[in-house]
Amino acid sequence: MNAQVKIDQLLQRLSPILNREHLVMCQLSEEQLRELLGDCLCIFREREGLSALLPRQIAARERLATLGDFRQITLHFSSCQQVPGLIANVVRELADAGIQANVESAHYHEHILVSERDTAQAMQILNGISNRLQYS
pLDDT bucket at 88, cuts 50 / 70 / 90 = confident
Range of the domain at 35: 3-134
**Mean of pLDDT values over 53-75:** 97
Burial zone of 134 (CB within 10 Å; 0-12 exposed, 13-18 middle, 19+ buried): exposed
Percent of the chain with pLDDT over 70: 85
87: domain CATH number? 3.30.2130.10
Phi, psi dihedral angles at 99 (to 5 degrees): -105, 120
- The identity of residue 35, as a single letter, is E
Q: Residue 134 has what pLDDT?
A: 63
Does the pLDDT at position 81 exceed 90?
no
Contact 22, 116 (CB under 8 A): yes
Cα–Cα distance for residue pair 16/77, rounded to 1 Å: 9
Higher-pLDDT residue of 60 and 80 is: 60
Cα–Cα distance for residue pair 22/8, rounded to 1 Å: 31
- The identity of residue 38, as a single letter, is G
Count structural domains, the chain. Answer: 1
List the Cα angle 56/116/40 in 5-degree steps.
35
**Mean of pLDDT values over 58-66:** 97
Higher-pLDDT residue of 3 and 102 is: 102
